[in-house]
Structure 1
Amino acid sequence: MRDFELPGRSLAVGRNAMAATSQPLATLAAIDILRSGGNAIDAAVAACAVQCVVEAGSTGIGGDCFALLSLGGTDKIIAYNGSGRAPAAATVEHLRSLGITSLTRTSPHTITVPGAVDAWTRLVADHGRMKMADILSPAIKLARDGYALPPRSAYDLAAQEEMLKGDPTASRTFLVDGKAPPAGSIRYQRELADTLEAIGREGRDAFYRGPIAEDLVRYLNSIGGLHTLEDFATAKGEYVTPIKTTFRGHEIHECPPNGQGIIALMILKILSHFPGKGDPLSPERLHIEVEATRLAYAARNRFLADPAKVDVPVDYLLSDALAKELAGMIDPTKAITDLPKFDEVPHRDTIYLSVVDSDRNVVSFINSIFFVYGSGRMDPNHGVMFHNRGFSFSLDPNHPNAVAPGKRPMHTIIPGMVTKNGRAVMPFGVMGGQYQAMGHAHFLSKVFDYGMDLQSAIDLPRLFPLPGTNQVEMEHRLRDTIGRDFERRGFQVKAPESPMGGAQAIWIDWETGVLRGGSDPRKDGMALGI
């Protein structure tokens, strides 16, 4: 039980249904959809669409989406990969012929065809109850009539002020006279409202074919992109088979590559060799978690790519033998010094949400534009801020994650789902770019090794080892207590550049029927049960 004399928030509880998101308006939209007869997938899409408006620095219809679903609360988990693909003309050779030797965050060559709208419409068509027009209505109203800029969104906007000045549409949409407005300012995204309205009326084709697609392609070509109408028309996500492992008697489910969910499972498999005991924030325990993460991420940067284009050794990466070998490399007193070095993939932002409805349909849902405000490139007519997920691609033709026609880049965004005894017991997710895999393992260890409730586990201070280095980012609460100890172990301790991630989770108590939810104080959001 939390100490009510300390600052913080209580665990959310409910009996009928629950939503947990990083924006109060998104949580409220999800609850309103559930009360109007929609189910968990309808509510998840409605909440995400609202976040595309009020948390535009983290997500948008110009981004990608992944989801894990349990229908009726069974352990038969459905996974959907809604990540976009590179244009058909995108080859390493072609980019080199254009003088491109490296990818920058605002490069048009980092913009893959957005997959989010296709994912939303497909999931609602297959598993929802409501019309897309009704699902998108809350987001459309906010975008057209105005919304008050939330505090964390205002913080992220201020940090990207200079970058947003470089694009005239982004500047006029998000800035005021070239300056980031303060929290509480009333903002509008009327072009986005029109686009969402078209999607609600006409479905996915409103975005991928016809006048909107023509404008999007024309704009991308004008800034040097290789995109074509055919690339948009043929964009399509897919249902995929989830991957899983067992941790402390629970089955942990993740989407398979091209996402990094497999890395979360690898960390958990390594941690299974180190029973949790004592203080969950002791330097001894966090040292083990950091080293497990460093080892697993070294494998990520070497192997993760689009399995439709290259062989990704999933069975090997999830093998007991590899987990045992990697666990054996951890010295509990000092940092590993001979980690393999690979290209570093940046650590950025996204949104994650969980929804459980009265029929116990369970949704774990994530949507992202990668960097804060993505590529910083915004279509002038339709309010679409494009992601820069292709920044993860390599320009080394021999690398598994090398850019190629129709290829999906390695993805950091990963929804999670926990099952036990044939039932889904917890949709969960941790935002924060490449931190997410460690975030999953760190969170689950605190819940299952130390018996913490969801909100208490989410509230704990965080740390993250930057892949391929001995540098460890620590929030100040940890730097003040264990920072020097970690430095004696051979790590370089540094402050994170921005608040470290965010998280949402909902626990389903099948015996009592009670739902318990947590939402990260590093964001503006909340969990709400009814």
Structure 2
Amino acid sequence: MRLSARLLALAFLFLSAAPAALLAADGGDAPQAARPPGAAIASAHELATAAGFEVLEQGGNAFDAAVAVSAALSVVEPISSGLGGGGFFLLHDAASGRDVFVDARETAPAAATPERYRDANGKLDRDRSQNGPWSAAIPGLPAGLVHVAEKYGRLPLKTSLAPAIRLAREGFPVYARLERGYAARRQVMERYPGTRAVFLAGGKPPVEGQLLRQPDLARTLEALAERGFDGFYRGPVAKKLLAGVRAEGGQWTAEELASYQVHEREPLRFWYRGWEIVTAPPPSSGGVALAQMLQVLAGWNLSSLDPAQRAHLTIESMRRAFRDRTFYLGDPGFVHVPVEVLASRDYAAGLRSTINPQKATPSDVFSGLPTPLEDEETTHFSIIDAEGNRAAVTQTVNLLFGSGLVPPGTGVLLNNEMDDFALLPGQPNAFGVMGYEANAPEPGKRPLSSMTPTFMVSPDRVAVLGTPGGSRIITMVLLGVLGYADGLDAQAVAALPRYHHQWQPDVVEAETGAFSPEVAARLRAMGHTLDLPDGEVSSGASSHFWGNLQTVMWDRRGNALQGGTDPRNPVGKAEVRLVRAAEAVP
């Protein structure tokens, strides 16, 4: 098909939550450095950051460290991610200059047809789509860890997984967010004997400060370390996974587990005001939306605008990108995704032409039907090593504690990613975003994701960033990119106040302090509906704060590293160390 004329006419050291960590070499005004002076890691938990440095100090590279951090987060952040989920690894190999996107997203079981998720009245059964065995897709993260270690790392998998195995066996202190998350999901979690065995091991729910030990998860990680892919997807662990799912009424098969495949994809890349942006392609929707929003906004010099005008234009770019996300994006192995059109400068220019600089565009102006085209959940970490390799990794089990189901004997908390499919066309999922045929479930298909791991590269600076946050991931990364483009340091980028619009509902959500009273008043005068946490407007859907952005940045002119960790998350850690390049390690 052709892109319709109508659509074109309608056509984006040590650090905790303090000032940015910094490690600089001598000679601050020297020409561009060929290599960083050390390594930087920012993750959502200090134990995961420490696991990454432990592996770097054994001679590993950023990719070994990514395996270590990912696995450690799978142990200490079950609220957000784990072996029972999936993730995206955006990697840059400094020696070759190559960027690669490793897709370890979960896949739909054959039995999970749309009819399985309808209640007696034909409506979406949200309990089945979000809880228990039918909500769980086939996990991809274990295969992703094996793939990254074997193809890009230089250490044995058992070395990179050793910190996570130790954390699972010996335990870690429960933190407040984990305690609160369990309380919110307790009713579902305690349906399942395997889950109770992990989280009620002492007879009571997890309490801040107590040690949470996961011996079954340690054994599963050991099997993965010893046998690689087969240690999880075949053999004893696979049998326990299948038995646990079937015992609760699910219908996974051994063939589906054993046939899971990681896909390597070409990252999406485009330019914004002197920065090359390298980001996630489908089945992530984030990269395409980011390209649309930034290229729409490139038509204005945002730094010269007052805060209300800048916010208005940014919101309008969000509105248009999320409208396209709803209809066109899905797993490229199953549907044609018109990336070349949607992410092009010409298409962005068409979208820009529809923006009134002084007035909000009601979302209903944009058709609720596809235009003919020819087409606190989740976690993120960022790494740069002393060779210049980098990794931006976002991984998830979807909602808090995923499906709530741990198959007995595995310690593996399964995801509830089936809710990310368009199980019923036009019905919003848990994050309020809708989808249609492009994101309908099919056997082996990957659900559309908002995860947006991203690199920014300019002649002077290199930044790595990403965040959890459901559909808000995309707009948080957008605001982070704009922050770096404005010259902010890594910690300032991580701390930026956030706001969000996703086409439907036609409401701007904002954190506490994101808009001054004067800016809020001007946005309302332009026609925007604001959902502010201070109760000024509307549904009360906005939380006071959201997201957990983790970022690192290398200033090549001064040869300095910075790390930024989200101050909203007190257990996160961004750290910079003088870890030498591997060939210099004895």
What TM-score, normalized to structure 2?
0.83
1:475 aligns with 2:522: no
Change (3 A) 1:236 1:8: closer
Cα distance between partner residues in 1 of 2:328 and 2:192: 35
Correspondence for 1:48: 70
2:387 corresponds, among 344, 349, 359, to 359
The 5 Å alignment of 1:320-335 reads: 320-335=345-360
Change (3 A) 1:180 1:93: closer
Task: Using the TM superposition, give the Cα deviation of residue 95 of structure 1 relative to its aligned residue in structure 2, in angstroms.
Answer: 6.0
Cα distance between partner residues in 1 of 2:20 and 2:80: 25
Cα distance between partner residues in 2 of 1:509 and 1:103: 50
Cα distance between partner residues in 2 of 1:98 and 1:87: 22
1:440 aligns with 2:477: yes
Residues 182-227 of structure 1, C-alpha deviation per residue, up to 9 Å, x if partnerless? 3222211111111111111111111100111111112212223231
Identity of aligned residues (%): 30
Cα distance between partner residues in 2 of 1:428 and 1:109: 33
Correspondence for 2:321: 296
Change (3 A) 1:484 1:514: same
Change (3 A) 1:156 1:74: farther
2:418 corresponds, among 386, 390, 396, to 390
Q: Please identify, of 517-526 and 90-99, the stretch whose mean Cα deviation from structure 2 is larger.
A: 90-99
- Secondary structure of the residue aligned to 2:549 is strand
- Check conservation: 1:486, 1:493, Cα contact below 8 A: no
Task: Using the TM superposition, give the Cα deviation of residue 108 of structure 1 relative to its aligned residue in structure 2, in angstroms.
Answer: 2.8
Residues 33-72 of structure 1, C-alpha deviation per residue, up to 9 Å, x if partnerless? 1111111111111111111111110010000011111112
1:492 aligns with 2:530: yes
The 5 Å alignment of 1:191-210 reads: 191-210=216-235
Change (3 A) 1:279 1:522: farther
2:566 corresponds, among 520, 523, 526, to 520
The amino acid of 1:477's aligned partner reads G
Task: Using the TM superposition, give the Cα deviation of residue 181 of structure 1 relative to its aligned residue in structure 2, in angstroms.
Answer: 3.5
1:67 corresponds, among 89, 110, 113, to 89
Task: Using the TM superposition, give the Cα deviation of residue 485 of structure 1 relative to its aligned residue in structure 2, in angstroms.
Answer: 3.7
Task: Using the TM superposition, give the Cα deviation of residue 155 of structure 1 relative to its aligned residue in structure 2, in angstroms.
Answer: 3.5
- Check conservation: 2:118, 2:125, Cα contact below 8 A: no
Cα distance between partner residues in 2 of 1:430 and 1:218: 34
1:33 corresponds, among 55, 77, 80, to 55
Q: Please identify, of 467-476 and 95-104, the stretch whose mean Cα deviation from structure 2 is larger.
A: 95-104
Correspondence for 2:26: none
Residues 234-284 of structure 1, C-alpha deviation per residue, up to 9 Å, x if partnerless? 00111111111100111111121110221111111111112112578x222
Q: Mind listing any 5+ residue stretches in structure 1 that lack a counterpart?
A: 1-6
- Check conservation: 1:43, 1:135, Cα contact below 8 A: yes
- Check conservation: 1:340, 1:468, Cα contact below 8 A: no
Task: Using the TM superposition, give the Cα deviation of residue 153 of structure 1 relative to its aligned residue in structure 2, in angstroms.
Answer: 3.0
- Check conservation: 1:417, 1:424, Cα contact below 8 A: no
Q: Please identify, of 153-162 and 252-261, the stretch whose mean Cα deviation from structure 2 is larger.
A: 153-162
Cα distance between partner residues in 1 of 2:290 and 2:50: 30
The amino acid of 1:471's aligned partner reads V
Correspondence for 1:262: 288
- Secondary structure of the residue aligned to 2:94 is helix
- Check conservation: 1:18, 1:356, Cα contact below 8 A: yes
Task: Using the TM superposition, give the Cα deviation of residue 8 of structure 1 relative to its aligned residue in structure 2, in angstroms.
Answer: 5.5
Cα distance between partner residues in 1 of 2:119 and 2:528: 43
Task: Using the TM superposition, give the Cα deviation of residue 150 of structure 1 relative to its aligned residue in structure 2, in angstroms.
Answer: 2.5
Cα distance between partner residues in 2 of 1:463 and 1:180: 34
Cα distance between partner residues in 2 of 1:167 and 1:256: 36
Cα distance between partner residues in 1 of 2:550 and 2:52: 14
- Secondary structure of the residue aligned to 2:98 is coil
Correspondence for 1:506: 552
Change (3 A) 1:21 1:73: farther
Task: Using the TM superposition, give the Cα deviation of residue 461 of structure 1 relative to its aligned residue in structure 2, in angstroms.
Answer: 1.2
Q: Mind listing any 5+ residue stretches in structure 2 that lack a counterpart?
A: 1-15, 24-36, 371-375, 426-435, 534-541, 578-586
Task: Using the TM superposition, give the Cα deviation of residue 152 of structure 1 relative to its aligned residue in structure 2, in angstroms.
Answer: 3.1
Residues 296-350 of structure 1, C-alpha deviation per residue, up to 9 Å, x if partnerless? 011001111011111111011012222112112222333221244489xxxx521
Radius of gyration: which is bigger? 2
The 5 Å alignment of 1:169-184 reads: 169-175=194-200, 180-184=205-209
Cα distance between partner residues in 2 of 1:400 and 1:177: 46
- Check conservation: 1:298, 1:342, Cα contact below 8 A: no
Change (3 A) 1:46 1:500: same
Cα distance between partner residues in 2 of 1:75 and 1:503: 26
Cα distance between partner residues in 2 of 1:103 and 1:96: 5
- Secondary structure of the residue aligned to 2:107 is coil
Task: Using the TM superposition, give the Cα deviation of residue 228 of structure 1 relative to its aligned residue in structure 2, in angstroms.
Answer: 0.3
Task: Using the TM superposition, give the Cα deviation of residue 520 of structure 1 relative to its aligned residue in structure 2, in angstroms.
Answer: 0.8
Q: How many residues align?
A: 517
Change (3 A) 1:130 1:285: same
Cα distance between partner residues in 1 of 2:203 and 2:288: 42
Cα distance between partner residues in 2 of 1:483 and 1:160: 34
Cα distance between partner residues in 1 of 2:532 and 2:194: 35
Residues 432-476 of structure 1, C-alpha deviation per residue, up to 9 Å, x if partnerless? 11111111111111211x211121122121111244122222111
2:157 corresponds, among 132, 145, 168, to 132
1:11 aligns with 2:33: no
The amino acid of 2:19's aligned partner reads S
- Check conservation: 1:244, 1:252, Cα contact below 8 A: yes
Q: Please identify, of 518-527 and 102-111, the stretch whose mean Cα deviation from structure 2 is larger.
A: 102-111
- Secondary structure of the residue aligned to 1:387 is coil
Task: Using the TM superposition, give the Cα deviation of residue 360 of structure 1 relative to its aligned residue in structure 2, in angstroms.
Answer: 1.4
The amino acid of 1:529's aligned partner reads V
- Secondary structure of the residue aligned to 2:331 is coil
- Secondary structure of the residue aligned to 2:562 is strand
What TM-score, normalized to structure 1?
0.91
Residues 396-452 of structure 1, C-alpha deviation per residue, up to 9 Å, x if partnerless? 58711111111111012121112235x98222112211111111111111211x211
Change (3 A) 1:93 1:476: closer
The amino acid of 2:114's aligned partner reads V
- Check conservation: 2:512, 2:532, Cα contact below 8 A: no
- Secondary structure of the residue aligned to 2:327 is helix
The amino acid of 1:267's aligned partner reads M
- Secondary structure of the residue aligned to 2:302 is coil
1:240 aligns with 2:249: no
Cα distance between partner residues in 2 of 1:433 and 1:210: 34
The 5 Å alignment of 1:72-91 reads: 72=94, 75-91=97-113
Correspondence for 1:3: none
Correspondence for 1:453: 489
1:272 aligns with 2:298: yes
Q: CA RMSD in A?
A: 2.5
